[in-house]
Amino acid sequence: MQAMSTRCSRYRLDVALLTVFLLAGLPRLRAAEPADFILRNAKVATVDAQFSLAEAIAVRGEKILAVGKNADIAKLAGPQTRVVDAKGRLIIPGLMDSHTHPSGASLYEFDHPMPEMESIADVLAYIKSRAAVAPEGQWITTSQIFITRLKEQRYPTRSELDAAAPKHPVAFQTGPDASVNSLALQLNKIDRNFQIPNGLPGKVEKDSNGEPTGILRTSGNYFKTGNTGARNATEAERNDRLRELFRDYNSVGITTICDRNASLGAIESYQKLRDAGTLTVRVSASQGVGSQGALEKIQESIRAIAKHPLHTQADDWVRIVGIKMFLDGGMLTGSAYMRQPWGVSEIYSITDPQYRGVLFIPKDRLKPMVRATVESGLQFTAHSVGDGAVHALLEVYDELAKEGLPIRQTRACVTHSNFMSKEAVETAARLGVVLDIQPAWLYLDTRTLTKQFGYDRLRYFQPLKSIFAAGGVVGGGSDHMQKIGSFRSVNPYNPFLGMATAVTRRAKWYDGQLHPEEALTREQALRFYTINNAKLLFKEDKTGSLEAGKLADLVMLDTDILNCNEQRIRDTKAVLTMVGGKVVWETK
């Protein structure tokens, strides 16, 4: 019996050792399976923790099989492996845009093409052209043509709009604010005695005689436009336009985006493209939630979003990460909420020397909204442009963190965060609050902002270097809103323009640099659009760097942006873009 027991024990030991041996060998067996795709003779910027460089990369299925030296990666090739000689080109992780509005942007020119508008004359010419073809009384509107980017740096006046289209109501809309003509005011019953209803935020600018000038702050709360005669797209047409836009994103190396004010309809469209196998970018979504109305209903809406399957279940292609609200107006329109007054301004038609902009959500309502979001495990973010709004949101985050709420874990966010301060930078880093910033705004708007505020007041405008130095997490985006085309779009989404701006701090129509002490290094700029954005979107375990086991999202470039002349960064082209192991863009 004792001998039998001994033999059984030895048998069990032998089986156990064999099992351990076989299991230990499994990774080697898997690694020995051939790659589907190999890029060799490359300069692979992995953007891992050490920012390692490699010579080649192998992909199998949707994931990265290995990254390393040419000789080692060559051993992974099989008879069916596609091997591409990169000829020394730079390979980087797929680029990410942390702030887009693709559903609206893709349809912006569905009805008719929109010309480039860089002057008041361009704006008025467009309005006249629409008045010539639109029936009398039909609305003519424009959207997101920002006065900061017009040569005259001002709104078109009420009288100019009257002259351009005397028989049509006209609204020149630019973010939350607008300049409208006399007929548009009449139809909305806005005169010298008009009062904004129900205490809603906003302001009707008036001249020295008390008459409305036509400039309306936060116009959406009390001003309505009517039928413009524009055609409505069918579902098939909407999906076709989205696919076209996403292909253009791929053409500039973008493999992941975040829709920062997603509607349920837009989210459903992304799902349908995913299900059809035609989605070529990964989509994260901050679902838009309004801040007006009963607080309890808003909180119920937030909690309902947290239960959506696209939030509760893992999905590498489409996922709801949180919600988005609007805390203040815009710096492009003259309504961002500032800690100090804007100052009287011809540019923005500001006549009140104490005017500080518009704050949409008072603290006694903001805090319970943020609380409901964080308690639901969602990322809260709010459009916060002015330093007054940024400080207001950080104050709420700080108070809730002290109560033990998981601000850091839910990656509470500040969207735009253009005007900051040393204190704001340090607070965001301490709390683990992430920032979503758009360098293209610096590129396009510095000329006007310095004219309005002066150079010194812009010391902490997009303070990217300070954020990195403080240990904060900041990701790059575009706020792409209209048009397809990475340079022609309203708020251009070309990530190389964004990187070039972050590195040079140089702007259109502006001599010199805007606080070059806040310029990023090349390495930081690449992190800004890759691994940092992955952290903003809860994706850093799967994307954002080129490491074995991660999803094969990568781009091959025609320019070495880590070493080229800085003036060449913005003109960089994507030679090949891959998402999940599939080539979605390749130059001929």
467-515, pLDDT tens digit by residue? 999 999 999 999 999 999 999 998 999 999 999 999 999 999 999 999 9
**In this predicted structure, which of 20-24, 149-153, 454-458, 549-553 has the lowest mean pLDDT?**
20-24
Could you tell me the two tokens for 505? 């701090």
Q: What average pLDDT does this structure show over 313-330?
A: 96
- Say yes or no to pLDDT of 3 above 80: no
**Cα–Cα separations (whole angstroms), residue 181 to 104, 169, 215, 280, 329:** 25, 6, 9, 43, 22
Tens digits of residue pLDDT in 424-460 = 999 999 999 999 999 999 999 999 999 999 999 999 9
Predicted local distance difference test score (pLDDT) of residue 174: 87
CA dist., res. 543 & res. 550, Å (int):
6
CA dist., res. 582 & res. 553, Å (int):
9
- Say yes or no to pLDDT of 258 above 80: yes
- How many Cβ atoms from other residues are within 10 Å of residue 251's Cβ? 17
- Say yes or no to pLDDT of 384 above 90: yes
Q: What average pLDDT does this structure show over 172-196?
A: 94
Q: How many helices (H) does the chain have, and how many strands (E)?
A: 18, 23
- Say yes or no to pLDDT of 24 above 80: no
Tens digits of residue pLDDT in 303-320 = 999 999 999 999 999 999
pLDDT-based confidence at residue 16 (cuts at 50, 70, 90): very low
Predicted local distance difference test score (pLDDT) of residue 333: 87
DSSP per-residue codes, 181-209: -HHHHHHTT-STT---GGG-S-EEEE-TT
pLDDT-based confidence at residue 41 (cuts at 50, 70, 90): very high
Task: Quickly tell me which residue has 């080649």 as its tokens.
Answer: 56
- Cβ contacts of 580 within 8 Å, gap of 6 or more: 62, 316, 551, 552, 553
Say what percent of the chain tops pLDDT 70: 95
pLDDT-based confidence at residue 32 (cuts at 50, 70, 90): low
Tens digits of residue pLDDT in 277-291 = 999 999 999 999 999
CA 437 distance to own-chain centroid: 8
- Say yes or no to pLDDT of 252 above 90: yes
Average pLDDT of the chain?
A: 93
Q: What average pLDDT does this structure show over 12-17?
A: 42
Q: What average pLDDT does this structure show over 118-128?
A: 96
Predicted local distance difference test score (pLDDT) of residue 409: 98
**In this predicted structure, which of 28-37, 415-424, 472-481 has the lowest mean pLDDT?**
28-37
CA dist., res. 124 & res. 117, Å (int):
9
Predicted local distance difference test score (pLDDT) of residue 197: 87
- Say yes or no to pLDDT of 249 above 50: yes
CA dist., res. 496 & res. 327, Å (int):
29
**In this predicted structure, which of 65-74, 196-205, 356-365 has the lowest mean pLDDT?**
196-205
Predicted local distance difference test score (pLDDT) of residue 1: 42
Residue 51 and residue 569 in contact, taking contact as beta carbons nearer than 8 Å: no
Tallying the residues shown for the chain, one arrives at 588
Q: What average pLDDT does this structure show over 19-31?
A: 40
Predicted local distance difference test score (pLDDT) of residue 144: 85
Predicted local distance difference test score (pLDDT) of residue 37: 98
Provide the b/e sequence for 98-111 (b: ≥16 CB within 10 Å). Answer: bbbbbbbbbbbeee
Tens digits of residue pLDDT in 69-104 = 999 999 999 999 999 999 999 999 999 999 999 999
- Say yes or no to pLDDT of 27 above 90: no
